[in-house]
Structure 1
Amino acid sequence: MTSFSRLLPWFVTACLVGFLVTLPIGTQSQLVLGIVLIGALLLVWRFWPGPHQRLVMMAIGTLLVLRYLYWRATSTLPSTSDMADFIPGMILFAAELFCIGMLFISLFVVASPLERKPARRLADDELPTVDVFIPTYNEDVHLLSATLAAARALDYPADRLRVYLLDDGGTDQKCAQENVSLAAAARRRRAELMSLCSDLGATYLTRARNEHAKAGNLNNGLAHSTGELVVVFDADHAPVREFLRETVGHFRDDARLFLVQTPHFFLNPDPVEKNLSTWLRMPSENEMFYSVIQRGLDRWNAAFFCGSAAVLRRAALVEAGGFSGVSITEDCETALELHARGWNSRYVDRPMIAGLQPETFASFIGQRSRWCRGMMQILLLKNPLLKRGLSLPQRLCYLSSALFWAFPFPRLTFLVAPLLFIFFDLKIFIANSQEFVAFAVTYLIANMILQNYLYGRVRWPWVSELYEYIQSFYLAPAMLSVLLNPRKPSFNVTEKGVTTNRDFLSSLATPYFVSFAVLVVAMGYAGWRYATQTLDNDLLVVVCIWNALNLALAAVSLGVVSERSERRRNQRLAVNRCGRLDLHGGSLPVQIQDASTTGARVKLLTPGVDLPGGEGLPVGWLHVATLDGKTETGGIPVIVRRTISEPDSMAIGLQYLKPTPQHYTVIAELMYGQGKPLSDFWNLRRAGKGLLRGTLMFLRMSLGQMVRGLQFGWLALSQPKPDASDQPVVPPRAPETGGTVAPFKTAEG
């Protein structure tokens, strides 16, 4: 087939699209066309399942978007004769162009998400040698104990697996620093972690100086290890037992494969989910990325390293000079370098690690600020559009991933734009209400339908807008700082594993209350204008609706920055395992319902058990049965903290009693012996919301969170601040020794 024959269908299609986009029709005809195309979207979604449905949906939505864009560029921009209108008008238009451009790039990325087949299972003698890297800086030893124990328990031949704890908190530099107390703490940490590694069969590594942050720490691990493959787990990312069996087989299929990335699964809610009480019913914020976007990137050989829960080929890393450390997002930067060298990546869409998210809003913003600054660094210092060695799809994929973090620019622009008309009568969008409905509203509805079609199972309506809104106030200056000095940002470790022992208003709350107040005043002033003027009232109504949507986002944000207490230091995972509880005087079969690194909840399988009450707390052992139920993996010393009466039995809350490293091996097997509990919880929350139902739910949420946030704000103003301010704290632990050891009685006596 000649080049002309191949290009002819594309040329004809482009001409047809150009004709439809620029077709001059009246406002009413455009409204009818918009309604027809929206109806076509819904009909195709509902009644035309099949391999071509996705592309047809995208084509219809794209036509409406392009019709809007053509009208917007040719009919609505302010005149250059009035710069007060023209300058903000062009800023608004630039923000819209950015969003539409990102929409088209994202449609390309997720046009056909890849359903990756499972890796083929290799015989033990075929398996490559593996080094597991667990980088740490200041994490708690109990957290590290669980992660190390889980890594050591991976289903893999012992002679082909080695686990390294890469400690950047105990470097020579830190142990010899001028501050005597900090130096002593670093030396104690080094000694404690060396002992822990010795007990668990891991290798402790540190280095002379803290240089190049996490990338430097990982490169030090590379220099002191030899495995064919390298696995990276963050300090709070404990792997399930089958992690390696589900990933390493891919490397035997492709000699140029440098990466197998798996999703990050979290045991705890982020501050938005915690403070809005949506953790158990709404898909987590990261699932849109891991379950749709990463699979889309995988289609174009552009799935990238996410810093943890990944397997990498040592030969590829050595060829590239190790983990890249120019930016503070060393993970994506490393993947970019290796893709540019012709290496390949794969994504396995199965949760096989359990980690922790930031617990407070301040730490959440700190983490996202680092991501934003790092991706902006990559965009400026290693622009994927100019990077040699990348394919065109890879360039677009990396551009999408980096440019996404510029969302504060359009989000804040859309927040301010209606205020300019309400307060200052600036005409930055020249259109009447009929034109706005015919072009803009139909475009927005089509866009929301398309987004709900593509991401509905993992992202409810308006949730993306909420996350962008709450981050924009602090990410905008972070982004600006990188634009001014791309090499300035430094790596900051995200604090995790902390708790808050009271409700409080976040120290970052001020911009959200100010924004809410301004939007409320704007609604009141717009109402006064509507009642006292006769001109532009129809446009004023449209702008008020726009402002009301911003107000709904602002209302929910008040709830986001109103921190709920979280006394549970360690998050629970539903495990549903069999076991045996030995208390003084007898032994009881139990069902272990959930477990954490500090305790478990068990259900007694023997009816009529009478546990003693009073001050004495029974002390005993919890034995965990293997998955086949035939043997036991070992025991953990426990203390009974509470009993819970159930209709047909009794449940008991247990706390582990001074667990040793060997006990953490049992705890790790209990929690991470199989990946099914993670997948079950992953899928449990994937109940999509339709546009109408999701919008109504969000509006109800905005009312409730507005009231709650204003209550927090009033209390913060009317009451003196406590000495601890709103810093996260660790509540006092329950005593590690119990009271008297008391026997228990069964119904038979």
Structure 2
Amino acid sequence: MSIMQKHWRELRRRDSLFSALLSFIALYAEAVFFRVSASTQADSSNSGQRGLRYWVPQVDWDKHSLLDPLRIILQFFYLIFFKTKQERRQAQQLKASIGTPIELSRRGVAAALRHPLRWATRWFEYVFHRQTQKKATRWNLPFRIILTILSSLTALLIIGLPMEAGSQAVLLLAFWAVALWVRNIQGRIPMLLMITLSLVVSTRYLFWRVTQTVNWDVPIDMVFGLLLLSAEFYAWTILILGYIQSAWPLQRKIAALPKSIASWPTVDIFIPTYNEPLSVIRHTILAAQVIDWPQDKIRIYVLDDGKRDSVRDFCTEIGVHYFIRPDNKHAKAGNLNHALGLSSGDYVAIFDCDHIPTRGFLQLTMGWFLRDEKLALVQTPHHFFSADPFEKNLGVFRKNPNEGELFYGLIQDGNDMWNASFFCGSCAVLKRGPLEEVGGIAVETVTEDAHTALKMHRLGYNTAYLNVPLAAGLATESLSAHIGQRIRWARGMAQIFRIDNPLLGKGLNWGQRLCYANAMLYFLNGIPRVIFLLAPLAFLLLHSYVVFAPAIMIAIYAIPHLVHANLANSRSQGKFRHSFWAEMYETVLAWYILRPTTVALLSPQHGEFNVTQKGGKTEYSFFDWRISWPYLTLMGLSLTGLGFGIWRLFTGPDNEYLTVILNLFWVIYNLILLGGAVAVAEEAKQVRTAHRVAVDRKVTLYDQNERMYQATMTDYSHEGAGIKIVQGMEVREGDTLTLILADGDQYHALDIKVMLKRGQHLGTRILFENYAQERAFLRSTFARADAWVGWMPDDSVDKPITSLREVVGIGFKGYQRLFFHLAPQVRPITRLLAKGWRVVSSLLPRSPVTRSEG
């Protein structure tokens, strides 16, 4: 080992390149011919004694190849001129402990601002609280009026001030520096500052677009320019409404119930169903039976519009009420209203038939009703324990926030601050009196839930949102079903906007009007999104100037607008939706919601309620050509525009060079989004109808000889559980064991059969003997009070650059999948190319990393 240490000391000195290279070659020779030092020192804490496995990780030291010398030489130069991952980490730790001048100054500013920011935050909370309680003080109103006038005049001065390119760049760089400066300072006031900067920069951009960039002299330029400007005005409106809606989430806490159970109200639980399989419905019904509420104060009703004997027999067998009606008029809304007329509970809790409530649902939601006599609704999040099409087809389940997380994690919480939280159709409790006062569940639109809440708000009732997942259900399983569900939502919101516009009429405050308007206007994004996808083609294909301005001016106005909006949204929404994912979601849905929303605005009486199919499976992977044809069409047009753009670079006039470059970047970004849409259109195989939920829970096992073992439950489903056993426990496939599950201070014993054994991991099936055992299993798993708390990891925060890389990678994956499906006969060639790329990439240097680090 002394010879090896000598070589490494010579290598790491880095003062003699030639001698170090010779030492490196000597090490390689020793490793090849004498098999020394390449294996035993890989994880030593002393870097001077680490072996070649550490320093050259891309080489297989047990099986050498002819390209290994080249890999060694390239890795050598990488080690000479670049820092290793460990060295970079040590430098970052040193920088964090000591601090760079910029970091030190930022800490100083943050420390100096800590107390003023805390005071300002408390003052804002006080003002919002007084506003919501409608008890503004005498000085509060004049002060707010003066402050609003002064801030508005300052903003208008900045927005309308004409500037040359240089001055505009300096101003926006100053704004950008401030946004980056306060980005990492905790608290709501820094976030409000980022939002303010974004609003000023975006409004200045839009003012510039309206006043200086429309070519009124050329008809085709004017038409395309106004189309793009209208799409940008729509996006600006949604941006502002979104900031207002979610700038100050209420974050409502749980309200305790009275200690006297006698004062608790009666509750009817409605579970509407139509054509869902009994295997999906039964677990929701059984879980409703184990909700912790006095049994004489709760009644469960299964509302079956499918009129199925199997569902009726099951309800009779387990002892719950079963309702049908003579017709299916008004779909789900009519079904609920029919049951409302046949029941008498003080409150109504509604669950879609796949949404399994936790046993603490009523105890955690009912307290607010007893605090506020005017409260008509408490809504909780729609949580899903299965992957939606984006998560399933892209392989990001429980890695990134899903599509609905932004609404249920932030927007509804922001609505709650303005007393504008609305009913979402499930996982909610409604007070019978206000519900009957508005005529029951609304039937005029296909989004009966939001419309019902709007009617209650118009009568002066309050609503509440409790941002705690207290029920969980199945997400849509295919892209076509997902799009169908969103089409219904979009059509319904457009119908409400048309026939019961929240901006008009009586009974709403301005906060409620804006929150409802944003929810409805958002679903009109089909036309603007398609315009953004086609806009660069107007110049690349038709040579039409949709933005009539020099390229440098476009850049210094548009780029800051996009950057500030992204920074502000990343700060406020980052935990619930990562950067650039919204554009991909909207690209997937744009074409399909364009037509129904337009029809609903023109003729709101058209449109029917469609039931979202759940509980199915996908027997094999396939590419959905039917659903993806709009993406493919837009992709073909964009690729054509890309080709013309490249041609213009070489043949067009010099003064258009930057304009062509900007449009090429724009069309490339659109192609990435379209590639992502195509990637989602390839449906991944799903053979399980009982979805497994990953957990890490300690359980107890008894074997057939009555020996007790501690084990770990790694996942569970409605039918079985995955269990990791300890070393030494003898188990074979086909054995029957007893599983002991904790349920608070109670324990439930269930027989399980080992269906699969892989090392220490068992796949088991629960052998239910009766419904009581099935209820006990649900209480210990799906219906646990804390079953869905902490679902997403704490480190799931937005990193814009990382998110951009993810979206770009997904876009490329979409083209790869499309290529495979279009030309399956060339797969051997693509595999050969992929193998060649793997060989080439294996030559690239890599940063050494220990096993513990990796």
Given the two structures, how large is their TM-score scaled by the length of structure 1?
0.88
1:633 to 748, 767, 777: 748
Which structure would you say has the larger Rg? 2
Superposed, which structure 2 residues align to 1:493-504 within 5 Å?
Answer: 493-504=611-622
Structure 1 residues 595 and 659: CA distance shift in structure 2, 3 A: farther
Three-state SS of the structure 2 residue aligned to 1:509 is helix
Query: Which residue number corresponds to residue 608 of structure 1?
Result: 728
Aligned partner (choices 656, 665, 673) of residue 536 of structure 1? 656
Q: Is the 8 A contact 1:575 1:671 kept in 2?
A: no
Which of 114, 135, 139 is residue 250 of structure 2 equivalent to? 114
5 Å-filtered alignment, 1:467-482, equals 467-482=585-600
Query: Is the contact between residue 302 and residue 398 of structure 1 (CA under 8 Å) also seen in structure 2?
Result: yes
Q: CA contact under 8 A between 1:260 and 1:348: conserved in structure 2?
A: yes
The answer (yes or no) to whether the contact 1:258–1:345 under 8 Å persists in 2 is: yes
Q: Which residues in structure 2 correspond to 1:158-237 (within 5 Å)?
A: 158-170=295-307, 189-190=308-309, 192-237=310-355
What per-residue deviation string (whole Å, max 9, x for no partner) do you get for residues 676-726 of structure 1? 231121x317512322232223223322332123223434999xxxxxxxx
For residue 33 of structure 1, what is the aligned residue in structure 2? 171
CA displacement at 1:255 relative to structure 2: 0.3
Helix, strand or coil for the counterpart of 1:46? coil
1:624 equivalent in alignment to 2:745? no
**Which is helix-richer, 1 or 2?**
2
CA distance in 2, matches of 1:626, 1:346: 30
Structure 1, unaligned runs of 5 or more: 171-188, 719-749
Letter in 1 for 2:743: T
**Aligned with 1:574: secondary structure?**
strand
Separation in structure 2 between the aligned mates of residue 278 and residue 356 of structure 1, nearest angstrom: 17
Describe how 1:580-595 pairs up with structure 2 within 5 A.
Answer: 580-581=700-701, 584=704, 586=706, 588-589=708-709, 590-595=711-716
Partner secondary structure for residue 640 of structure 1: strand
User: 1:518: which partner in 2?
Assistant: 637
Question: What is the 5 A alignment of 1:551-566?
Answer: 551-566=671-686
Q: Retained in 1: the 8 A contact 2:732–2:757?
A: no
Q: Does 1:290 align with 2:427?
A: no
The answer for the alignment partner of 1:485 in structure 2 is 603
CA–CA distance in 1 between the matches of 2:437 and 2:825?
A: 56
Is contact 1:237–1:309 with CA below 8 Å preserved after alignment?
yes
Query: CA 1:349/1:716 → structure 2, altered by over 3 Å: closer, same or farther?
Result: farther
Q: Give the counterpart letter for 2:232 in structure 1.
A: E
Cα distance in 1 for partners of 2:319, 2:698 equals 27
Q: What letter is aligned with 1:528?
A: W
Give the equivalent residue in structure 1 for 2:377: 259
8 Å CA contact 2:356–2:783 kept in 1: the answer is no
Alignment of 1:300-699 (within 5 A): 300-506=418-624, 507-534=626-653, 535-577=655-697, 579-581=699-701, 584=704, 586=706, 588-589=708-709, 590-605=711-726, 607-612=727-732, 617-619=734-736, 622-628=739-745, 631-635=746-750, 637-645=751-759, 650-657=760-767, 660-681=770-791, 683-684=792-793, 687-699=796-808
SS at match of 2:272: strand
Q: What CA distance in whole angstroms lies between the structure 2 residues aligned with 1:120 and 1:464?
A: 37
Q: CA deviation at 1:529?
A: 1.2
Residue 146 of structure 1 deviates from its aligned partner by: 0.7
Determine if contact 1:577/1:670 at 8 Å carries over to the other structure.
no
Q: One-letter code of the match for 1:298?
A: D
The equivalent of 2:210 in structure 1 is 73
- Larger deviation, residues 280-289 vs 510-519: 510-519
Query: In structure 1, what is the equivalent of residue 160 of structure 2?
Result: 22
Shift of 1:393: 1.0
Query: Which has the larger displacement, 303-312 or 565-574?
Result: 565-574
Deviation at 1:599, TM superposition (A): 1.4
CA distance in 1, matches of 2:770, 2:537: 60
**Structure 1 counterpart of 2:741, which letter?**
V
Distance 2:770 2:498 in 1: 48
Instruction: Supply the distance in 2 between the matched residues of 1:679 and 1:161 (Cα, whole angstroms).
Output: 25
1:9-28 Cα offsets, whole Å, 9 max, x none, are 32232222221111111011
Is the aligned partner of 1:711 residue 2:820? yes
SS at 1:59 equivalent: helix
Give, as a single letter, the amino acid of the residue that structure 2 aligns with 1:53: P
Aligned-residue CA RMSD (Å) = 2.0
Distance 2:478 2:826 in 1: 20
Q: In structure 2, the residue corresponding to 1:536 is in which secondary structure?
A: helix
Distance 1:154 1:4 in 2: 50
Query: Is the contact between residue 578 and residue 625 of structure 1 (CA under 8 Å) also seen in structure 2?
Result: no
Between the aligned partners of 1:612 and 1:544, the Cα distance in structure 2 is 61
- 8 Å CA contact retained: 2:679, 2:810: no
**Separation of aligned partners in 2, 1:505 and 1:663:** 41
CA shift digits 1:631-653 (9 cap, x unpaired): 43353x543220121xxxx2211
- Is the 2:620–2:684 Cα contact (8 Å) retained in structure 1? yes
With 577-586 and 336-345 compared, the bigger mean Cα shift is at 577-586
**Counterpart for residue 42 of structure 1:** 180
Q: Does the residue aligned with 2:753 lie in a helix, a strand or coil?
A: strand
How far has the Cα of 1:620 moved from its partner? 5.4
- CA 1:717 to 1:707, structure 2 compared with 1: closer, same or farther past 3 Å? closer
1:146-161 correspondence runs (5 A): 146-161=283-298
1:476-509 alpha-carbon deviations (Å, 9 max, x no partner) = 1222232342111110100011110111011312
CA displacement at 1:320 relative to structure 2: 1.0
C-alpha separation between the residues in 2 aligned to 1:685 and 1:406? 33
Paired position in structure 2 for 1:132: 269
1:462 to partner: Cα distance? 0.7
Letter in 2 for 1:152: Q
Residue-by-residue CA offset, 1:165-207 (whole Å, 9 max, x unaligned): 111110xxxxxxxxxxxxxxxxxx23x2222223333211111
Q: Which residue of 2 aligns with 1:180?
A: none
Question: How far 1:584 sits from its partner (Å)?
Answer: 4.9
Question: Aligned partners of 1:710, 1:201: CA distance in 2, in Å?
Answer: 55
Cα distance per residue 1:146-176 (max 9 Å; x no partner): 1111111011111111111111110xxxxxx
Structure 1 CA distance for aligned equivalents of residues 142 and 724 of structure 2: 72
Percent identity (aligned) = 32
Shift of 1:53: 1.7
